[in-house]
Amino acid sequence: MEVKTVINERPFERKRMFGKIDIRAYTMIGALIAIWIFFGLLNDTFLSARNLSNLFTQMSVTAILAIGMVLVIVAGHIDLSVGSIVGLTGGLAAILSNWLGLPTSVVIIGTLAAGALIGVVQGWLVAYRAIPAFIVTLGGMMVFRGALMGITKSTTIPISDANFIALGSAYFTNSFGLILAAVAIAALVISTIKKRKSRERYGFRVAPLSLDVAKVMLVSALIVVFVLTMNSYKGIPFPIIFVIGLALIFSFIANKTTFGRHVYAIGGNSEAARLSGIRIQRHTMVLFLFTGLLSAIAALVLTARLSSATISAGQMYELDAIAACVIGGTSLMGGSGTIMGAIIGAMVMTSLDNGMSLLGMETFWQYIVKGSILVLAVWIDIASRKKQAH
């Protein structure tokens, strides 16, 4: 009997370990690679360094918005206003920079403060006044678009501040890119070693050394390939650093902090969360503060990249962000979703856009394909969850 249980345990343990690495994440990455190969075969330029660099720059705005959106959706809410916040704060940045001639740092701080303030107001209405987030942010979507038209007098405001423009269109020099890669790899190695040591100190089983080494090597290789590819064109585009930085920060918040844990608990079962002493209202408000702030960051990147603010800037971006989250495995029922998933989702959306444009497909096809992919992704997700349940 004793022997039997031991034998039974082994395969189970192994399965769990692979299960933990998350099959869903791998299918998403697999789908992304498939899309890249597909477009690469049909069009020579798709996988060129120049196009990949463009693709990453293109996806940065959607990705930044999706980072905030994930947490809001995980908590069981939605934010439909992010596109309009991008427009409004972008317009504000242009006014501060062009009309008032303020230095770049003041423009940045002012824009971020405005985004955060908008987020807090919406968050307060959702959390403390119990108005459904759908309504508050739908209202916000119209109000902020209107406000943008008002403050810009419906004109396009060009940006002339070169520092500002650099935020969206500059590249890191090749050597700086290599230093960055080295730092990232070093950080990866150190954190892996630290984690192993700490687990050992607590007497927990550590993963086999070979597995950790393989993991570190794979990720390092990806970093090196990425940097070399970018360097072979003009270097790492500035906006992508924002995306990577924010993704790391928010992944940390989601996975390692009490705040993040509470957000997942609220989305998973808000009653149980409340009865465990979690401050649901305050957390909800902070989430909207985050989406406001991230929208302002996205606005800076977008305005800088286009070197002007227009009244249509950011239109429909909320839907791209939501689609990125959903394709990345975030459940609209709340309680589950990851930042990395959303980033991959944003990459899938942008790759489709970019690839189809390169192939010269007409715009109407692009909409149809993107919409269909969205529904298909959720369909597959729901079907696979059902299978798991049986």
Partner 1 sequence: MYALEMFEITKEFPGVKALDRVSFKVKKGEIHALCGENGAGKSTLMKVLSGLYPAGSYSGEIRIHGQTMRFRNIVDAEKAGIAIIHQELALVKEMTVGENLFLGREPKKFGVIQWDELYYEATRWLQKVGLNISPQTKIQSLGIGQQQLVEIAKALAKQANILILDEPTAALTESEVEILMSILEQLRNEGVACIYISHKMPEVFRLADSITVLRDGKSIATLSRKETNEDQIVSLMVGRELTERYPYVARKPKEVVLEVKNYSVWHKDKPVKVNDNVHLSVRKGEIIGIAGLMGAGRTELVMSLFGAYEGKAEGSVQINGKEVRIRSVQDAIRAGIALVTEDRKRLGLVLGMDVKTNTTLASLKEISKFGIINQNEELKWSQKYVDELKTKTSSIETPVGTLSGGNQQKVVLAKWLMAKPKILILDEPTRGIDVGAKYEIYHLMNKLAQEGVAIIMISSELPEILGMSDRILVMREGRIVREFTHDQATQENIMMAATGGK
Torsion on CA atoms 253, 256, 262, 267, rounded to nearest 10 = 70
C-alpha to C-alpha distances, 195 to 192, 201, 253, nearest whole angstrom: 5, 10, 18
CB of 377 to partner 1, least distance (A): 20
**Does 289 participate in binding partner 1 (rule CB under 8 A)?**
no
The single residue among 10, 130, 204, 210 that binds partner 1, judged by CB under 8 A, is: 204
Locate tokens 């969850």: which residue?
385
Structure-token pair, residue 348: 């899938």
Which amino acid type is present at position 153? K
**Does 256 participate in binding partner 1 (rule CB under 8 A)?**
yes
What DSSP state is assigned to residue 77? -
Q: Which is nearer to partner 1, 235 or 260 (CB)?
A: 260
The single residue among 164, 226, 264, 290 that binds partner 1, judged by CB under 8 A, is: 264
Stretch binding partner 1 (CB under 8 A), from 110-118, 164-172, 274-282, 317-325: 274-282
**Does 336 participate in binding partner 1 (rule CB under 8 A)?**
yes
The single residue among 5, 275, 386, 387 that binds partner 1, judged by CB under 8 A, is: 275
String of contacts with partner 1 for each residue 156-195, x by CB under 8 A: ----------------------------------------
Stretch binding partner 1 (CB under 8 A), from 84-92, 178-186, 197-205, 356-364: 197-205
**Does 335 participate in binding partner 1 (rule CB under 8 A)?**
yes
With contacts defined by CB under 8 A, how many residues of the chain interact with partner 1?
29
CB 98 within 8 A of CB 159: yes
- Residue 279 has a CB neighbour count (10 Å cut-off) of 14
String of contacts with partner 1 for each residue 211-250, x by CB under 8 A: ----------------------------------------
Give the CA angle between residues 347, 326, 314 to the nearest 5°. Answer: 65
Q: How far apart are CA 151 and CA 242, in angstroms?
A: 27
CB of 339 to partner 1, least distance (A): 16
**Does 283 participate in binding partner 1 (rule CB under 8 A)?**
no
Element housing 107 (H / E): helix 104-127
Give the CA angle between residues 323, 327, 330 to the nearest 5°. Answer: 90
**Does 279 participate in binding partner 1 (rule CB under 8 A)?**
yes
Q: How far apart are CA 98 and CA 314, in angstroms?
A: 20
CB 138 within 8 A of CB 275: no
Which residues in this chain contact partner 1 in the complex, by CB under 8 A?
12, 16, 20, 198-199, 201-202, 204, 256-259, 261-262, 264-265, 268-269, 271-279, 335-336
